[in-house]
Amino acid sequence: MVNLPHIYTLRVYYEDTDAGGIVYYANYLKFAERARSELLRSIGSGNIEVMVEFGISFAVSSCAIKYRRPAKLDDMLEVRTGVAKIGGATITMIQEVYRGSDRLVEMNVQMACLNKVGQPTRLPQKIRGSVSSFGLT
């Protein structure tokens, strides 16, 4: 079992649920993106910051998700995130959504580093160094 060092907590509101009484499947991708944004912000690489400092942004290039159990209205959830791999122009993260000790959803997300015109570009050295502190260990 991998160690996912970054923790982001959130509450499930009506907006997140659907008529099945559970969290709509696409919304876990929103939760995961909030968590990745906060992980990057915590190392000084928030969305606006990397645009201003490096002229880059991140876009998800691929994503695999396994839905184990549903989350429900009012649940408090934790998104746990770890950096699995840092490539030349990509970062791969493992993200898991927990309710207490129950692992509800597992995701593997590959992000591409893009320049201002949306082309892949090398990950700035500064980000490469700091993001590695969230490695899986």
Q: How far is the CB of 32 from a second copy (least distance, A)?
A: 9
Q: Does 133 bind a second copy (CB under 8 A)?
A: no
33 or 53, CB closer to a second copy? Answer: 33
Which distant-in-sequence residues (6+ apart) come within 8 Å of 3 by Cβ? 82, 136, 137
Choices 31-39, 79-87, 95-103, 121-129 (CB under 8 A): range interacting with a second copy: 31-39
How far is 18 from 105, CA to CA, in rounded Å? Answer: 17
Q: How far is the CB of 137 from a second copy (least distance, A)?
A: 26
Which residue type does 33 have? Answer: E
Q: Where are the beta strands (DSSP E) in the chain?
A: 6-11, 57-67, 76-86, 90-99, 102-114
Give the footprint of a second copy on this chain (CB under 8 A): 11, 13-15, 17-22, 24-27, 29-30, 33-34, 37-38, 41, 46-48, 57, 59-67, 70, 72-74, 118
